[in-house]
Amino acid sequence: MKEEFLVLVNENKGIIYRISRIYGVTEADREDLFQEILLNLWKGYASFRNESKFSTWLYRIALNTCITAFRKKSRILGTMSIEEKHHQIPDNTGNADYNEESRLLYQAIGKLDKLEKAIIILYLEEKNYEEIAEIAGITPNHAGVKITRIKAKLRQYLNHENI
């Protein structure tokens, strides 16, 4: 079970990294969130019933973990022992795709409320409205409306930054 879990988490660690990046203010916050998400995934893995894709379940756990941590100003995070080879967070700072526009986008996303952040992360991950709705606990129509409003907010934030 442990090996299967580690394989699935390593295949999807980019999701965890991106969610941690959106919700974590400092690098230490991001690392703490990453570890807390891993811990919660491990705790819940035995109850994962394969009724949805692993990535859908992972998103739900990761977003709930970040939202809960966001609510608690002072959080005490547990740690989990994972071999170093399994805990390599991808470094996007050297990536050609990570540029000034990406930095500004992440900065604008950081201004959104917690549900809006969750929805836009899923949208940027190219999830369809049904998947977004399932993970966020809303209807597909509401997901579409929220995405339209979030895009408008982001455009407003980004246009304000470029003035």
Q: Residue 49: what pLDDT? A: 84
Query: Architecture of 1-90 per CATH?
Result: Orthogonal Bundle (1.10)
Question: Do the domains spanning 1-90 and 95-163 agree at the CATH topology level?
Answer: no
Tokens in use for 48?
A: 């994962």
Q: What is the pLDDT of residues 68-107, one digit of tens each?
A: 887 764 434 444 444 444 444 444 444 444 578 888 888 8
The phi and psi torsions of 135 (rounded to 5 degrees) equal -70, -40
Domain 95-163 has CATH 1.10.10: yes
Residue in the block written with tokens 């995070």: 77
Domain layout of the chain by residue ranges: 1-90, 95-163
Q: What is the pLDDT of residues 106-132, one digit of tens each?
A: 888 989 988 899 899 899 888 999 999
- Distance CA(138)–CA(158), nearest Å, equals 27
CA–chain centroid gap for 19, Å, is 2
